[in-house]
Amino acid sequence: MATSERPWNALFRYAESRKNLLGSVCGLAGVGIALTGAAGALWPAVVGGLYAAGALIAPPDRPATPEFAEEGDRLDGLRADFARLRAYLAEAELPPAARERLTALDTLVEALLAPGWVTDPEHLHVLARAVRQDIPEAVDTFVRTRWWSRFTPGTEQPEHHLERQLAALHEEATAIAGALREAEAVRQEIHTRYVEGRDG
């Protein structure tokens, strides 16, 4: 049922978007030009062209950044905020390379936030900062900057900064995963020595 509703939801979202609204205004201006007879037989192309121009110059709709109820580093609250973050990220329009990096980071953070793994307060703080601050800020800043970069050609592309930010965040999460792996390896080694060394 939810799958069949998605195209309608996308259509309704576009109908309310800035792109459609500005395109419609420009298209109506084209209709006005056509009614004066200035466009002649090419009036459909004029109306369509003005609509397209309006849709192209309109600033993109940005998904609202999530509001997080939790402020501490409790795992349950952090997991709830991570679910809110994922819903926000699903709506953000990102280039393929950045989306790939974000998916890798998302998968790693999801694994780290599984119950029973991360208990170190410092590690929880790093994850909380990434979920509630670093990731949403990186994506929101990219979406804002991408539109304005069209008017300043020759500047560094905003997706490069986003990819670098996501790579740095992935390194932080990877370091936590590495610490967990080392702790489990030590635990396993201790248990091996215990099993091998006990009498009987």
Give the model's pLDDT for residue 8: 64
Q: Which CB contacts under 8 angstroms, 24+ apart, belong to 120-124?
A: 120/179, 121/73, 123/176, 123/179, 124/73, 124/75, 124/78
Residues 6 or more apart whose Cβ sits within 8 Å of residue 70: 77, 78, 80, 81, 132
pLDDT-derived band at 123 (thresholds 50, 70, 90) equals very high
Q: If you average pLDDT over every residue of the chain, what do you get?
A: 84
Q: Tell me the per-residue pLDDT of 158-195, one tens digit each, with 9 for 90 and over.
A: 899 999 999 999 999 999 999 999 989 998 999 998 89
For residue 61, pLDDT over 70 is answered with no
pLDDT-derived band at 9 (thresholds 50, 70, 90) equals low
Give the model's pLDDT for residue 104: 96
CB distance 137 to 130 below 8 Å = no
For residue 18, pLDDT over 80 is answered with no
More confident residue, 63 or 78: 78
For the chain, the domains span 2-57, 75-197
